[in-house]
């Protein structure tokens, strides 16, 4: 697990005491590779819903065509 300081440019394998930065002593540290970063892509959600909705509409239209 790697740590990166958000106050200075420290980046290393370990953090200091109680998770503080060993270079500047700040507690504003980010852990890399743990999914802790706020990099979650929220834009993909509505695109996926739109895709599912369009496929559902297509299925409904096909069924309506077949049953009529």
Give the integer Cα–Cα distance in Å for 27 and 24. Answer: 9
| Nearest to Zn ion of 26, 31 (CB atom) | 26
**Residue 1 has which token pair?**
């697990």
Count of residues near Zn ion by CB under 5 A: 8
Give the integer Cα–Cα distance in Å for 52 and 32. Answer: 33
Q: How far is the CB of 15 from Zn ion (least distance, A)?
A: 10
Residues 6-45, one symbol each (x = binds Zn ion by CB under 5 A, - = not), give -xx-x----------x-xx-x-------------------
**Residue 42 has which token pair?**
């929220």
């Amino acid at each position: 697990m790697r740590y990166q300081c958000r106050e200075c440019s420290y980046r290393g394998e370990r953090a200091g005491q109680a998770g503080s930065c060993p270079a500047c002593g700040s507690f504003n540290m980010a852990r890399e590779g743990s999914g802790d970063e706020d990099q979650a892509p929220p834009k993909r959600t509505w695109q996926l819903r739109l895709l599912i909705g369009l496929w559902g509409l297509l299925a409904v239209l096909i069924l309506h065509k077949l049953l009529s």
